[in-house]
């Protein structure tokens, strides 16, 4: 799970991570928001109406969901679980509340927080993304400040000072996490480690 | 800290890790053992007499020490602490007891266990290293079995099936561990994260 404040450059980093790591899948969100020009159903989002989204919630088919500006966004459970059960990794772009919700049902999930190098850098990126009013910029900076308080809930913090370096760190985290002892123990028994190769 | 049974190929992996990661230092052990042909003081070991070794213990200048076959081996504290305080990383080749001793005084240290791919592979490597008697081979395999029981005390387990892949995993672990939130929090305050860049 990758979280980070608006403007930190999460999409750029995510896209490069997905390009560099074979077998890593991006979890596409479901949303009731209308597609913007250029957005493709099943690529950028799974677009669905309010009724269908309500069904997904009712049937427990979302790992997490939330509402922003009147639109609902959620993480479809089936896609994530199918990928994981076939031995693939999935990367999720989730906000702090979403990450906390998912961590409850999937404690083995890894939480990475993408950090801006500085307040100025974040402000510039928010302006570059087209936040028009000074008020809107300040609102996002304020939200970033609050999000950074929750870094304690994360496993890793990666500073997006340089995209290549951030991508390199995230790729290393994904590789390293596969070697964690608690994951090895979930499918190996140290007491019988040599059994498979004996006799 | 890198541990693993005799014959797992720890030295080969260690040497490649050291070659690939700039700024990573190898912690040279102190020993009372006599140098073997080709061994250089300060490169392979710090060779010292019983009296000097006893002084190191008495002065608390060893992070851990143990006795094998009448010879004492220990990890000099000064070297490790100097490297760490100047921002460098140190890799230690320690056995299970040594790793446990060091973890008590340095809980932030990372423990990696290097695992053989199979019993046969380990047996072949032990034979290749020149263990002559069947009894000695069995003694080492028995020790390996016992060491593998302690994998639960480690953070990571890396299988040395392929040296390049094992080295790649250890390098990723070293990179990833630098991004761990608890390390970031030890030198950053989320409440004042933006302070440095403001005003």
Contact B185 A152 (CB under 8 A): yes
Q: What is the pLDDT of residue B198?
A: 45
Q: What tens digit of pLDDT does each residue of A4-34 get?
A: 998 999 999 999 999 999 899 999 999 999 9
Residue A96 to chain B, least CA–CA distance (Å): 15
Mean pLDDT value of segment A77-81: 94
Tell me which residues of chain B have a pLDDT lower than 70: 131, 196-199
Q: What is the pLDDT of residue B199?
A: 38
Partners of B120 on chain A (C-beta within 8 Å) are 197
Q: Say if residues A153 and A112 touch (Cβ distance below 8 Å).
A: no
Q: What is the pLDDT of residue A130?
A: 78
Q: How many beta-carbon contacts under 8 Å exist across A and B?
A: 107
**Residue in B169, B191, B194 closest to A175 by CB:** B169
Q: Kindly report the CATH number that applies to the domain delimited by B1-23+89-179.
A: 3.40.50.300
Complex-level ipTM: 0.90
Q: What is the pLDDT of residue B68?
A: 83
Q: Where in chain B is the domain with CATH 3.40.50.300?
A: 1-23+89-179
Nearest chain B residue to A120, by CA: B197
Residue A13 to chain B, least CA–CA distance (Å): 16
> What average pLDDT does the structure give for chain A?
92
Closest alpha carbon to A94 in A72, A69, A66: A66
Give the angle subtended at the CA of B184 by the CAs of B181 and B188, to the nearest 5°. Answer: 130
Q: Where in chain A is the domain with CATH 3.40.50.300?
A: 1-23+88-180
The CATH number corresponding to A27-87 among 3.40.50.920, 3.30.63.10, 3.30.70.100, 3.10.290.10 equals: 3.30.63.10
Q: What is the pLDDT of residue A114?
A: 98
Q: What is the pLDDT of residue A194?
A: 79
Nearest chain A residue to B141, by CA: A194
Q: What is the pLDDT of residue A195?
A: 76
**Residue in A156, A185, A196 closest to B179 by CB:** A156
Q: What is the pLDDT of residue B128?
A: 86
Nearest chain B residue to A111, by CA: B181
Residue B129 to chain A, least CA–CA distance (Å): 20
pTM for this one?
A: 0.91
| Residues of A contacting chain B (CB within 8 angstroms) | 112-113, 115, 118-121, 145, 148-152, 154-158, 168-169, 171-173, 175-181, 184-185, 190-191, 193-194, 196-198
More confident residue, B191 or A160: A160
Pull the structure tokens for residue A160.
């997006």
Q: Best of B119, B176, B198 to disrupt the A interface by mutation (most A CBs within 10 Å)?
A: B176
**Residue in B152, B171, B177 closest to A185 by CB:** B152
Q: What is the pLDDT of residue A192?
A: 83
Closest alpha carbon to B155 in B184, B98, B114, B97: B114
Contact B184 A157 (CB under 8 A): yes
| Residues of B contacting chain A (CB within 8 angstroms) | 112-113, 115, 118-121, 145, 148-152, 154-158, 168-169, 171-173, 175-181, 184-185, 190-191, 193-194, 196-198
Nearest chain A residue to B113, by CA: A181
Q: Where in chain B is the domain with CATH 3.30.63.10?
A: 27-87
CATH class of the domain whose range is A1-23+88-180: alpha beta
Mean pLDDT value of segment A147-176: 97
Nearest chain B residue to A141, by CA: B194
Q: In sequence order, what E strands does A50-198 have?
A: 62-68, 71-76, 89-91, 112-115, 156-159
Alpha-carbon gap, residue A81 to A79, rounded angstroms: 6
Q: What is the pLDDT of residue B196?
A: 60
Q: What tens digit of pLDDT does each residue of A28-68 get?
A: 999 999 999 999 999 989 999 999 999 999 999 999 999 98
Nearest chain A residue to B166, by CA: A179
Closest alpha carbon to A115 in A91, A142, A147: A147
């Amino acid at each position: 799970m990758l979280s980070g404040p608006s403007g930190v450059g999460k999409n750029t980093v995510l896209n490069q991570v997905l390009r560099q790591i074979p077998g890593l899948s991006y979890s596409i969100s479901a949303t009731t928001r209308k597609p913007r020009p250029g957005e493709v159903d099943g690529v950028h989002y799974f677009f669905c109406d309010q009724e269908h989204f309500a069904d997904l919630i009712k049937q427990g088919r979302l790992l997490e969901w939330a509402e922003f500006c009147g639109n609902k966004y959620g993480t479809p459970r089936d896609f994530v679980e199918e990928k994981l059960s076939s031995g693939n990794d999935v990367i999720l772009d989730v906000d702090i509340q979403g990450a906390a919700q998912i961590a409850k049902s999937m404690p083995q999930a890894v939480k990475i927080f993408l950090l801006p190098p500085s307040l100025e850098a974040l402000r510039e990126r928010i302006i570059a993304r087209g936040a028009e009013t000074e008020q809107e910029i300040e609102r996002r900076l304020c939200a970033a400040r609050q999000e950074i308080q929750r870094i304690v809930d994360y496993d890793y913090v990666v500073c997006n000072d340089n995209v290549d370096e951030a991508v390199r760190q995230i790729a290393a985290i994904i590789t390293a996490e596969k070697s964690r002892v608690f994951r090895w123990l979930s499918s190996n028994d140290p007491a019988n480690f040599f059994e498979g190769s004996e006799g």
